[in-house]
Structure 1
Amino acid sequence: MSVTHEQIVAVVTDIVTGELGLAANSVAPATDLRSIEGADSVKVLRMISRIERHFDIELEDEDVFGISSVHDIALVVAKVLTPDPS
């Protein structure tokens, strides 16, 4: 699957704002998700699950637990979608 970083950010932003019931333009890529009211661990896990289903991937727990923003999530997704050439 070939997608750009911008496409990943757009999908992740859509999923995050949808799960949290926020306006689409209320979350920037650098927004710390932990600072958003209502973004508890259950909702974050639901977001990650939806992202995994959307891209048909499985994210590693250690990668997921280190994220704090849409940009961070997009980087982790891109890492999985772009196989290491070695």
Structure 2
Amino acid sequence: MAKSTRSKVKRSFRSKKRTEGVYAATEAARLHRLSSKLKVLTTQDKDGDVELDGDADTEEVVGGDDQEKDGQTEGTSGEAGSYHITYSL
């Protein structure tokens, strides 16, 4: 890809046209169309033959390495403060 000043000016004007110029309506329609296609693809199963139940926007969060207990997180790397090394001369 080109990295010249002229190229950057052209790209900036193109992006301005996309957001506020004559092409804004076309860009918004394209974005909406692609978004709706993506939503349909995420609601189907892997084979594509059955539509899944539930909302695709919500995901259930499963506990990972850190578990929160009483407002503090418990890590898997050891005791809190064990990573601090003190040197004495």
Q: Normalized against structure 2, the TM-score is what?
A: 0.24
Larger Cα-atom Rg:
2
Q: Which has the higher helix share?
A: 1
Indicate the structure with greater strand content. 2
State TM-score, norm by structure 1: 0.24
Larger RCO, structures 1/2 (Cα 8 Å, 6+ apart): 1
